[in-house]
Amino acid sequence: MLKTLFTGLSLLLVTLPVSAALNVFACEPEWASLMQELGSDKVKVFSATTAQQDPHRIQARPSLIAKMRRADLIVCTGAELETGWLPVLLRRAANPKIQPGQPGYFEAAQYVTLLDKPERIDRAEGDIHAAGDPHIHLNPHNISRITSALTNILALLDPENTIYYTHQRDDFLNRWQRAITGWEKQAAPLRGLRIVSQHKSWIYLIDWLGMKEVTRLEPKPGIPPSTTYLTQVLTTLQQQPARAVLITPYQNPQASEWLHSRIAIPVVELPYTVGGDTDATTLFGLFDSTITKLLAVTEQ
């Protein structure tokens, strides 16, 4: 143990002045936050999006191309979440290190079980993802799986700091596992909680906490609801009541507010990702805040 620590320390001392930090381009804030946990000062993390932006629809901005040009590693969700912008950035940045197939190209969705894989791939079904739903980070067990895979990549790209990354991983997973146990205990009253989603953003959270999605406001994924459709939702909810409508910080609250004005169903804006509210400054804060806000619904 002491020897490992010593080797680790000496490696640190040797490598610190010479090796520059690894440049990481994270497509979404949750991966930026995870990278920060794992890499700390060994990485320089940039998040391409914020919690206030719809990750399906991001402009392939010049600033993102410039950032990607210098990236050593890109960490994205995959499962077609970023198909509308990532391919353009990859091509225009023409950075050989982060092209698909290279170690510097990391898709988190490849390491977890994707839910809701569509049986019928047809655009008439809306904006569907052939591989399955991409909002994977909302089940903390998925974060654990991705953490291990990501640490392996970090060790591959920056072998000198392998011991450091392994240590960071163990430390993070340790804290994370304890946090999960706490959340699961705390969230016990949420089992069976009946909710309405605006978009199909919550299926991993629903699956993890055992909640029940009564209906969704979008008639098809990515298609905003019309008034006619909302009236149907209203009828459904009158027959099968739900406790809250869940929305993300980047979604338009109009439809949910309309519903709220009719049947006084509370509209709950969950942080969705890191930076989604004032408490969600880290991945830990994200789940703390999410569960607190959901528990508040059950207490009403």
Partner 1 sequence: MKTFVITCMLYAATSITALQPVQAAEQSDIDLLRQEVDALKTQVNASQATTSTQSAFNPAISLILMGRYANFDNDPENYALPGVTLAEETDPGKEGLSLAETELIISGNIDDKFFGRFTTALTPENEIEIEEALVQTLALPAGLGLQFGRFYSEIGYLNKIHAHYWDFVDQPLVYRAYLANQYNDDGLQLRWLAPTDLFLELGGEAFSGESFPASRPANESVGSYSLFAKLGGDVGVSHSWQAGISYLATQAENRETEEGNVVFGGDDNMIIADLVWKWAPGGNDAQTSLVFQTEYISSNEQGDYTITGNGTNPVDRTNDGWYAQLIYKFQPRWRGGLRYDRLSIEDPGSAFSGTSLDTQGHTPERVSVMFDYSHSEYSRLRLQYNRDESYAVADNQWYLQYIMSLGAHGAHRF
Q: Choose which of 111, 152, 153, 167 interacts with partner 1 (CB under 8 A).
A: 111
Q: Choose which of 8, 12, 113, 116 interacts with partner 1 (CB under 8 A).
A: 113
CB-based contacts of 98: which residues, under 8 Å, 6+ apart? 25, 68, 71, 72, 73, 74, 90, 104, 105
Query: Using the rule CB under 8 A, is 228 a contact of partner 1?
Result: no
Q: Choose which of 11, 12, 21, 60 interacts with partner 1 (CB under 8 A).
A: 60
Task: Point out which span in 37-45, 104-112, 206-214, 258-266 binds partner 1 (CB under 8 A).
Answer: 104-112
CB-based contacts of 16: which residues, under 8 Å, 6+ apart? none
Contact 273, 267 (CB under 8 A): no
3-class secondary-structure state, position 248: coil
Helix axes 140-157, 162-186, angle to 10 degrees: 180
CA distance 54 to 135: 12
H or E stretch at 212: strand 212-216
Task: Point out which span in 4-12, 75-83, 209-217, 236-244 binds partner 1 (CB under 8 A).
Answer: 75-83
Task: Point out which span in 13-21, 86-94, 152-160, 284-292 binds partner 1 (CB under 8 A).
Answer: 86-94
Nearest to 259 by CA among 239, 237, 275, 277: 237
Q: Choose which of 20, 101, 261, 299 interacts with partner 1 (CB under 8 A).
A: 101
Q: Choose which of 91, 175, 178, 191 interacts with partner 1 (CB under 8 A).
A: 91
CB of 7 to partner 1, least distance (A): 30
Is the Cβ of residue 278 or residue 300 nearer to partner 1 in the bound state?
278
CA distance 216 to 243: 13
- Give me Rg for the CA atoms of the chain: 21
CA distance 72 to 24: 6
Task: Point out which span in 2-10, 29-37, 121-129, 209-217 binds partner 1 (CB under 8 A).
Answer: 121-129
Is the Cβ of residue 46 or residue 165 nearer to partner 1 in the bound state?
46
Whats the size of the chain, residue-wise? 300
Nearest to 35 by CA among 115, 97, 43: 43
Q: Choose which of 11, 12, 15, 102 interacts with partner 1 (CB under 8 A).
A: 102
Contact 55, 77 (CB under 8 A): yes
Is the Cβ of residue 4 or residue 63 nearer to partner 1 in the bound state?
63
CB-based contacts of 185: which residues, under 8 Å, 6+ apart? none
In the structure encoding, which two tokens stand for residue 14, read together?
């040797």
CB of 173 to partner 1, least distance (A): 14
Residues 25-54 that bind partner 1 (CB under 8 A): 49-50, 52-54
Task: Point out which span in 94-102, 154-162, 171-179, 230-238 binds partner 1 (CB under 8 A).
Answer: 94-102
Residues 126-165 that bind partner 1 (CB under 8 A): 126-127, 130-132, 145
Under the rule (CB under 8 A), what is the footprint of partner 1?
49-50, 52-54, 56-57, 59-63, 65-67, 69-70, 78-80, 83-88, 90-96, 99-102, 107, 109-114, 121, 123, 126-127, 130-132, 145, 222-224, 250, 252
